[in-house]
A = this chain, B = another copy of it.
Amino acid sequence: MIDLILQNFRMHVALSEQEAALVTSAFQYRKVRKNQLLVEPPYPANTEHFIVSGCLRIYYLDSDGVAHNIAFGVEGWWLTDLQSFFTGNASKYHVEALEDSEVFIITKERWEDLLIQIPSLNIYFRKLYQNSIIAQNDRLLNMISTKADERYLRFIKKYPTLENRLPQYHIASYLGVTPVFLSKIKARLSSKH
C-alpha cells in the first residue's frame, strides 16, 4: 500500500529504487478506529499522516467547547496540524478519524531526514504546500464573503464523496452553520434543481 505514497511522489519527482526504499522505511502503516485521535492539544503534532482509506477531520475546539471543523481528509490526502508540525509548538487542533481508517504515518524527524536524503522531495512538498495555500485561501474567502448556500455547494465540489458518508452535523460545523440551517439550505437547493 506504500505504493500509493510512491505514486503520489512520482507524479512530481523521479525516484530511484533506492530512494523508494528510503521512503518505504520512513513511513509506518497504521489502522485507526473511528473517533481515534491522531493529534491532540496541547501535545505537538509531531506526525504527518497520509490517508490510505477512510476519512479524518481536523477541528478546532473553542473556549466554549464548540468544535469547528476546519477540513476533512480522504483517500490520498495528507492531514495533520501543519502549524504544530512545522513549529514544534503545542497543537491547536484535533485530528480525528471519522471512519475506521488506514494511514501512513511519518514523524517530523523522519520527514526532515527524508527531505535531506531525497532533496527532490522538496519539489513535491513545495507543490503540496502550494495546494494547501490555495485550499486555505478558498476557506478564508468562503468565510469572509460567501453565503452559506454557496459554501455548501463548494463543500460538495471539494469533497464529492463525503456528503453521504458523514453525519450532517459535521458538515454543518465545517460550513459554520447549525444542522437545522443546513437542512434548510439543502431543501432550498433541491427545490431549485
Contact = CB atoms under 8 A, between A and B. Distances in A.
Nearest to A140: B140
21 contacts: A60-B141, A60-B144, A68-B144, A82-B130, A82-B134, A82-B137, A83-B133, A83-B134, A86-B131, A92-B141, A115-B123, A119-B120, A122-B122, A126-B126, A129-B129, A129-B132, A129-B133, A133-B136, A136-B137, A136-B140, A144-B176
A48 to B, nearest CB: 12
A170 interface: no
A190 interface: no
Contacts of A126: 122, 125-126, 129
Interface of A: 60, 62-63, 68, 70, 82-83, 86-87, 92, 115, 119-120, 122-123, 125-126, 129-134, 136-141, 143-145, 176
Contacts of A120: 119
A140 B135 CA distance: 12
B123 A119 contact: yes
Nearest to A123: B122
A118 to B, nearest CB: 12
B134 A133 contact: no
Contact of A133 (B60, B92, B123, B132): B132
Top 9 nearest A-B pairs (CB, nearest first) are A129-B129, A122-B122, A126-B126, A136-B136, A62-B145, A83-B134, A86-B130, A83-B137, A122-B123
